[in-house]
Structure 1
C-alpha cells in the first residue's frame, strides 16, 4: 500500500518532564537535584480507551516513576505513575525498576519489559522480568522472571519486545550494552508462553552486535560527543502474519530478518538459526524503534533522517514517510488503531551524550501523530 502524508501534528510537548507527585518531599528531591535533566520519555503507546502511556527508563538516579500514563493537570501534560507509585518503587525488585520497551496487545494487555538495572548497575536477581498487566481490570496477570543465564545481569540491556498471541511467543531484543566501556553482547530472547520457557539466540551474532567502528552524527553533531555510542540489537518488529522477525542495531544501518518458525523451535541449533538470518540491506539511516502494521509494512525511526521511514517487503524498498527538523532522536513508534502512527522525539543523543540543552525550549520532548490511512493498525490487529 503506497503511503504518503503531510498530515502530522504534535500531540504533547515539554521543555522537560514533570510528574503529578504523590507528596511534596518527592517533588522537592526531584527539583532540587535536577533529576529531570535525565528524565527521558522513551516508548509511547495508546490503549483501547485512547489513553497515552510513556516509559521513562532509569538510566540515571532520581527518576520518580519508570512507567507512566500522561494526564492533564491545569491544562498541561504531566506524568502519573502507572499502575501506581508503589509499583514504581526503585530498589524493590518485584516492582518496575527500569522500563524501556513495552507492548499493548490486541486484548488490551500491557507487556512491560523491565530492564532491572538502575543507572547501569548490574540487575539485581529477580528484577529482570516481563509484567503482564490487564488494562481492562487493572490487575497483574503474570510475571515472567528473566534470569542471568538468559540475560546476564551485568551486560544485559533489555530493549524491546513484540508479542505473538496467535502462536504463543514473545520476542525480545537484548542490546547487550548494559556495561559501559565493555564490549557489546547483544542477542535475541524468545519466550514460549505455553511451556513458560526462555531461550537466548543469536548471542553476539554479527546481526545483534554494533557495527565495528560505526559512528554517526545528527545535524553534524557526533552522537555521544566524547565516546561513540555502541548499541546492539534494538529496534524490533513482528510481521502481520507472524512469520518474520525484523530487528536492527542502533549503531549500524542494516535491517535484519529471520523466520519465526525456526525461532519457535527450541530444538533448532544455534548454527541453523545463525544461517537463517537475512540481511535486508541499508535503511540509509540509523534506527531506534520499529513497529509493523497490519498490512505487511515495517515503520522504523530515522535518527539521522529525523523522522519515520517505511520498509515494504513486497517491493522491497526503504523510504521516508515523515520528517521534521524538530524530530530529534525519534525513539519509539506505535499505532493508535485509528489509522495513525504515534511516535516521540526526545533528544537522547544530547541528553546523555554530553551536550548542553536549552531547557527553556518548549519543544525539547515531543509526542507526534501522523495519519497513515484508514484501516491501518498495528501488526497485532492483522485480520481483525
Structure 2
C-alpha cells in the first residue's frame, strides 16, 4: 500500500502572531527564528491544528501553539495563552516536545521544564491537562527529579490510556549534551496519581552503541534514547523505539500497570520486534492496531502490522527531511510534519528562503482510519 500525500502548510521559517511590537522586533533582531523548530502536528475536533516548538535554544516566543491564517500565511498563535507560555515561569509551559489530544477532547501536554538544555528547575517538569471543551487547565502533575533527572532528562512523547487510567511517557535521556544517554519510560497512574520510572538505561531505551546515521549525507550528531511511542488499539501493548537505532520494541502494558512488579520482571517482558530499516522519531497507532512510524532515513512514514508482523513503507518524498511526528485527523488521513531537525541542531547551513523547511503533510490512509484513542 502506497499513500499519496500533499502539503497543507509550509514555511521557510516560523513566525508568530506577537502580542506586542517589542517582542516581535526582538525576535527578528536577534534572529531567534533560526532555532525555532516546528514539532508534532495534531488536530482537534473543531479542525484547529496545533504544533509545539520546544525551547531547545533561548528566544522561542511560545512553546505550544495553534496555527492561524493571516493574509493567507500560516502563523503560530500561543496556546492556550501567552501567559501559559511564559518561559521564566516554572508553573507555565517552559518547553513542550510531546502532547496528545485524547478522545475526551483534552490536550495532555508534556513539559520538559528545561530551556536550552539547562537543568530543569524544581517544579518545571510536569504533565498538564487542558480541556478544550471548557477552555481551562484541569490538572497539573509534577514530574520530580527522582522520576526524571532534572539534569539528564529529555521528556519526549506520550500516549494516553483513559480506559485503564494510565499515561506512558518516553524520556530520551539526552538532556545533558555530551553526556551518556539515560533513557527510560515513565508510567503515570491516573487513579493513584503516582509515577514510576521503568526500563531505566535498559538496552531497549538506550541509544544503540556505535550506531550512526545520516540524512542526505548529513550525519545526525546527537545521540538520543527512547523517543517514539505508540499504544495498541486494545491498550494491551506499548510500542517504543530509540531514535539512535532502528529497532522497534514492545511490552505488555499489564506488566507496566503493576507498580509492584520488580524491575527484572519488566525487563524480561521487553520484546524486540525487529528492524524498521530506518531510524524513527515519532509513532502513532491506529484503531486497528497498526503502528505508523516516521522514517528519518526513508524520508516518509511507514507502518508495522502486528498481524502479519511486517513493516511497510507508506509514503515518501525527497522534501520530507526529518519527518518528526505522525498523527490522525479521525477522518481517514494521517498528518505528519518534516522539520530538518538534524540540520538545524547540527549547525549545518540552512537556506532560510527555501519554502519547504517546515512542512505539515496529509495523506489519505483509508475510510475509517482513526487514532488508537477511538478504538
Same fold (TM over 0.5): yes
Aligned to 1:245: 238
Cα distance in 2 for partners of 1:367, 1:293 equals 19
> What is the correspondence of 1:24-103 to structure 2 with a 5 Å cutoff?
24-103=21-100
Structure 1: distance between partners of 2:76 and 2:138: 24
Q: Which runs of 5+ in 1 are unaligned?
A: none
CA distance in 1, matches of 2:138, 2:218: 45
**1:277 counterpart (270, 273, 282):** 270
Q: 1:113 aligns with which of 110, 113, 120?
A: 110
- Whether 1:364 aligns to 2:357 is yes
Residue 160 (structure 1) aligns with: 157
Does the residue aligned with 2:235 lie in a helix, a strand or coil? coil
**Cα distance in 2 between the residues matched to 1:83 and 1:246:** 30
1:169-223, Cα deviation, whole Å (9 max, x unpaired): 0000000000001100000000000000000000000000000011101112222
Distance 2:232 2:8 in 1: 27
Q: TM-score, normalised by structure 2?
A: 0.99
Q: Secondary structure at the match of 2:39?
A: coil
User: Are 2:257 and 1:231 equivalent residues in the alignment?
Assistant: no
Instruction: Find out whether 1:311 has 2:304 as its counterpart.
Output: yes
Runs of 4+ in 1 over 4 A off after TM superposition: none
Would you say the 8 A contact 2:218–2:343 is kept in 1? Answer: no
- Counterpart CA distance in 2 for 1:37 and 1:265 is 44
- 1:204-353 superposed matches below 5 A: 204-224=201-221, 229-353=222-346
SS at match of 2:208: coil
The residue correspondences of 1:120-131 to structure 2 (distance < 5 A) are 120-131=117-128
The secondary structure found in structure 2 opposite 1:210 is coil
RMSD over aligned Cα atoms: 0.6
Out of 143, 146, 149, the position equivalent to 1:149 is 146
Number of matched residues?
375
> Cα deviations across residues 245-265 of structure 1 (Å, max 9, x unaligned)?
000011000000000000000
* Cα distance per residue 1:37-61 (max 9 Å; x no partner): 0000011100010100000000000
- Structure 2 residue runs of 5 or longer lacking an equivalent are none
Offset at residue 4 of structure 1 (A): 3.1
Write the distance in 1 (CA, Å) between the matches of 2:176 and 2:214: 23
Contact 2:322/2:342 (8 A) holds in 1: yes
CA distance in structure 1 between the aligned counterparts of 2:38 and 2:355, rounded to whole angstroms: 15
